[in-house]
Every structure is written in C-alpha cells, then in structure tokens.
C-alpha cells in the first residue's frame, strides 16, 4: 500500500543524515506560529510581585518537572531557601528520543546540561536523594547529607526496570535487531541504526508496551507507525510482518484514540496480538517470550522494540510517600491527590511529573500543567490563602503516524479530548502541522517551561 500524496512535498522524502524531511519557508513560519500558540496556552510565571518568605523548600530531581518547579518558585518567592537535588549533570529532552530513534535528529539533539537551567536564587546539590523521611521533614542523599525542609517537591521521574525482562541487555541495543528508544540518547540513536538495517532488508518486527504505567504511552505506537513507513519507502514492506503486542485488550487508554489507531493499523496491515506482555528475550536467537492468558507464547523476530516495565524509583517506592493500596501501590507510585498533586498523608509534600501516582500525566506536556498547580497550592499554604488551580489530568501526545504526518492527541482524566487549537488542529486527523509541532516547535516550548516561562 503506497503512502498518500503530500501536497507540501515532505511526506515522501526520506530523512538523510539524521535530519528532518525538507521543510519549506511556509513550514517554518507555521512552526513558529504553532510555537507561539503553545506559549499563549502557558502559565506566565513571575507576573506578580514576589512574596517574601524564609521557607525551606527541597526539590528532589532536576528533570523537566523539578527544573520547572524551581524556576517558578524562584520567580514567585523572595528569600526562600530553595534547593534542588540531582546527581545527573546532563539533562535529557526525552520527547526527542523518538525523533532520534526515527533517524530524524542526531543523538545530541536531546542532550544539554542541568546547570544551564538552574535559576538564580536556587541552589543545585549534585547528589541523589536516597531516603525520604516525611515524618521528620528531611531527606538523606547518597553522600550522607541530611537536609530538612518545610516543603518538599518530589520530581524524581521513574525507573526503567530492564531487569524485569529476562535476557535483556541494554548494552546490546542497536545490535541483532534490538531497539529501545527509552534507554537514553545513545540508545535511541542505536535504535535508529537497528531500524535502518531492518527496514533495508525487511522481516518480522515486534512492537509493544509494558503492563505497568509508562511515560508517553503513545511512543510505542508511533515507533510502529514510523517503522512501517520506512519499510514502504524502501520497498520492503511486502516481505515484512509487523506485529504490535498489546498488553491488554486496547491499543490506547482513551477509547476514541484506541479505535482510531486500530483502524490505522488495520489499514496498514499491522497485526495486533492482545494480552501479550513481554517477559523475556533471547537476543542471540532473536526470540521474544510473552506472558498471555493462555500461557507462554514465543515469537521470533528480526527487529524488536523493547520497552521495559516502569516503576517509581526505589527511594520513593520504599518510602512512606508511596501508595500503600490500590492500583498504584505495586509499582510504588507516589500517593498524591490527582487534582492538587499534594500528598494525601503529608500536606507539605507534593509530587509532580512521572513519579506521581495519578491516572494520566506521564508526559512533558502534563508537567507544563501539573507544576503550576503544585506551586499554586504550595505558595497558598505559605501565604495562608486558598489555592485557585486544579489539575484535570491534561496530557498531550503528538502521535506520529508516518513521516510528515501526526495526530495531536490531547485528553484529560475523564478521557475527554481537550484540543488546544480547535479549528486549526483536528485531534484525530493525520496533519502535517502536528508533525511540524512535534519535530520543531515543541522543544523551544519545553525549554521555556524549564525556565519558568511556560
């Protein structure tokens, strides 16, 4: 089946040398418009006079959520003792991993430094927090430092549990048909090398997702679409088989989006096997082992996209901050109120980003809306005032469906579609402007968020 004609002349051009498909001046102008629209949808921090306080605030984690929280606090408070703890000196733009794995961006596209985003007035401690003691209002680091706080913001991200898949070796990503965009920029680039080799020859490709909660649940779907498109462009689709192994009976948690993806998969002859959970691989034999309701199932492959189970980091999972019962307890997600991101048992603690145990929200777009809510409630507590913001579960997924086309899917806790640009971007249509937003406009918006401007 051939690709639909792209009147803008981009969809039928294959990326070369790690660059995006060619873009006309019109594309760049509209990309700028899209970026401007995204920023107008943002909360502009620092518009009001700073509030003076001596509050001690600790932020655990200097990823997207932690840095955004630090910047907003620095913009809104004067005199506060704000410390952010994270041992990692590199900062990763994780939404770019899919683009790197698709051969659209170089490996260094997602790499910057933590230091460049630390706002004035915030102290960065390059140590990892290994113990949370919310009863005593203190944390302990891997270097043995003990720090006390009045307020704690937990933004540790999550843990990729590769050990849960028997035979998985992250050092072999990019070799023998093994891919995994999630393991970091280098692994994402190695994944692209594996995809490129696979699509030149054809064969059987396996895709899927873990049974646990995960960051950007649309990533496995877009990785499947992108690989399918490359096979078609390179003339090897007819001698290839693509299988998507769904961990349950749907393809996406939002029913209307799941149905749309099902229809697109059917149209593009992508096979789906439901209730398949990857539990082991044999990288040498290129064999995957799945747990299914009927027992163990083995499938041989030429290429496999491995996405590991994801859980809260051990310091959170093994602390009093984790959920003690319910669906989020098994993987240790942080127990927070879904509307306020405030901990349900420790009122001076907030959880934002991937670590938060909420029904939706493990994307960078979610962070953009979660952080202002948590900051609003934290500062209202300092002031003795009533907070005004709530988080409704907003999550965004620019779902690439082929090179040059994407669907901008936005939804909330109730699975309602909540488009930011009604009349301009239809959420369930494959549009080039959604592609441009994903590949060009979103990174500047992300950086603005880190700096407290979005």
| Residues carrying an active site annotation | 216, 397
Strand pairing class (178-179; 303-305): parallel
Tell me the C-alpha to C-alpha distance, in Å, between residue 332 and each of 43, 120, 434.
30, 33, 34
CA distance 283 to 265: 27
Can you give the C-alpha Rg of the chain in angstroms?
22
CA distance 259 to 276: 19
Q: What tokens does 46 get?
A: 């620092």
- Whether residue 35 contacts residue 444, with contact meaning beta carbons closer than 8 Å, is answered with yes
- Whether residue 223 contacts residue 101, with contact meaning beta carbons closer than 8 Å, is answered with yes
CA distance 44 to 32: 19
CB count in 10 Å sphere of residue 200: 12
Contacts of 51 (CB under 8 A, 6+ apart): 76, 77, 78, 379, 382, 383
């Amino acid at each position: 089946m051939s690709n639909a004609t792209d009147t803008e002349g981009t969809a039928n051009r294959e990326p070369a040398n790690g660059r995006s498909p060619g873009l006309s001046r019109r594309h760049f102008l509209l990309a700028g418009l899209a970026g401007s629209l995204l920023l107008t949808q943002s909360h502009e921090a620092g518009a009001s006079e700073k509030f003076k306080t001596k509050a001690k605030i600790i932020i655990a984690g200097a990823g997207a959520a932690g840095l955004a929280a630090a910047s907003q606090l620095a913009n809104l408070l004067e005199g506060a003792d704000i410390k952010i703890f994270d041992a990692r000196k590199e900062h990763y733009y994780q939404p770019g991993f899919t683009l790197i794995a698709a051969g659209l961006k170089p490996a260094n596209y997602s790499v910057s430094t933590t230091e460049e985003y630390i706002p004035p007035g915030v102290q960065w401690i390059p140590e990892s927090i290994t113990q949370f003691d919310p009863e005593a209002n203190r944390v302990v680091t891997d270097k043995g430092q003990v720090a006390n706080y009045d307020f704690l913001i937990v933004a540790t991200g999550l843990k990729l549990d590769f050990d849960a898949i028997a035979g998985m070796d992250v050092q072999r990503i990019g070799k023998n048909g093994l891919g995994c965009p999630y393991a970091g920029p280098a692994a994402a680039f190695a994944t692209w090398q594996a995809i490129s080799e696979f699509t030149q020859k054809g064969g059987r490709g396996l895709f899927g997702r873990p049974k646990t909660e995960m960051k950007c649940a649309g990533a496995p779907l877009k990785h499947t679409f992108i690989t399918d498109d490359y096979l078609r462009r390179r003339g090897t689709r007819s001698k290839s088989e693509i299988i998507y192994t769904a961990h349950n009976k749907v393809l996406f948690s939002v029913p209307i989006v799941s149905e749309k993806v099902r229809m697109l998969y059917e149209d593009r002859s992508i096979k789906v096997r439901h209730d398949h959970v990857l539990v082991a691989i044999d990288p040498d034999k290129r064999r995957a082992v799945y747990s299914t309701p009927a027992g163990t199932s083995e499938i041989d492959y030429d290429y496999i996209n491995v996405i590991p189970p994801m859980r809260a980091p051990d310091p959170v999972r093994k602390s009093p901050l984790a959920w003690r019962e319910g669906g989020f307890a098994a993987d240790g997600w942080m127990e927070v109120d879904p509307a306020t991101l405030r901990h349900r048992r420790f009122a001076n603690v907030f959880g934002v980003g991937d670590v938060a145990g909420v029904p939706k929200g493990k994307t960078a777009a979610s962070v953009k809306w979660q952080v202002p809510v948590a900051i609003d409630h934290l500062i209202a507590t300092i002031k003795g005032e009533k907070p005004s913001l709530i988080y409704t579960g907003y999550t965004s997924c620019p779902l690439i469906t082929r090179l040059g086309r994407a669907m901008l899917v936005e939804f909330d806790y109730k699975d309602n579609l909540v488009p930011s640009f009604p009349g301009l971007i239809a959420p369930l249509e494959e549009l080039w402007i959604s592609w441009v937003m994903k590949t060009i406009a979103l990174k500047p918006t992300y950086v603005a968020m880190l700096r407290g401007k979005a």
